[in-house]
Amino acid sequence: MNEHATDTTKSAAKKAEGERAVLDAIAAMPEPHRAMGERLHAIIKASAPTLSPRLWYGMPACARDGKVVCFFRGSQKFKERYMTLGFNDVANLDDGRLWPIAFALTELTAAEEARIGALVEKAVS
């Protein structure tokens, strides 16, 4: 029982550490991507609360069982003109023989937020 309590405490501490790292990475993004990153993080947390936030190659990401399901990055990472939301192979997004795994974001409206929430929910289903 003590071992389980210790594991639970370690898991909570690791999740809190991951959350802090993700929030710090988002805070380092220039506007408008900082605001979009904050919103993306909130959407992902609300859509899939079982995922654990962490950094993945310096990018904010969320993982299940140690494997990154989704991530996002601002344009400065690779000098792109848009923010990117991506999903890894563990995401349950398969749809036939061809499906998108990355999305370019220039703005987040209610429509995009709803679509992202649905994608994240499907990815962890």
CATH number of the CATH domain containing 106: 3.90.1150.200
For every residue of 42-73, DSSP letters joined together read HHHHHH-TTSEEEEETTEEEEEETTEEEEEEE
Identify the residue with better confidence: 64 or 11.
Answer: 64
- Res 2: pLDDT: 63
In the block, tokens 């991507």 appear at 33
pTM of the model: 0.87
Domain that holds residue 52: 2-124
pLDDT surpassing 80 at residue 18: yes
Q: In the structure encoding, which two tokens stand for residue 101, read together?
A: 């795994």
Residues 62-114 have pLDDT tens digits of 999 999 999 999 988 888 999 999 999 999 999 999 999 999 999 999 999 99
pLDDT surpassing 70 at residue 7: no
The lowest-confidence range among 12-21, 44-53, 63-72, 83-92 is 12-21
Q: What is the 3-state secondary structure (H, E, C) of 11-25?
A: HHHHHHHHHHHHHHH
Structural domains counted in the chain: 1
State in Å, rounded, how far the first CA of the chain is from the last one: 31
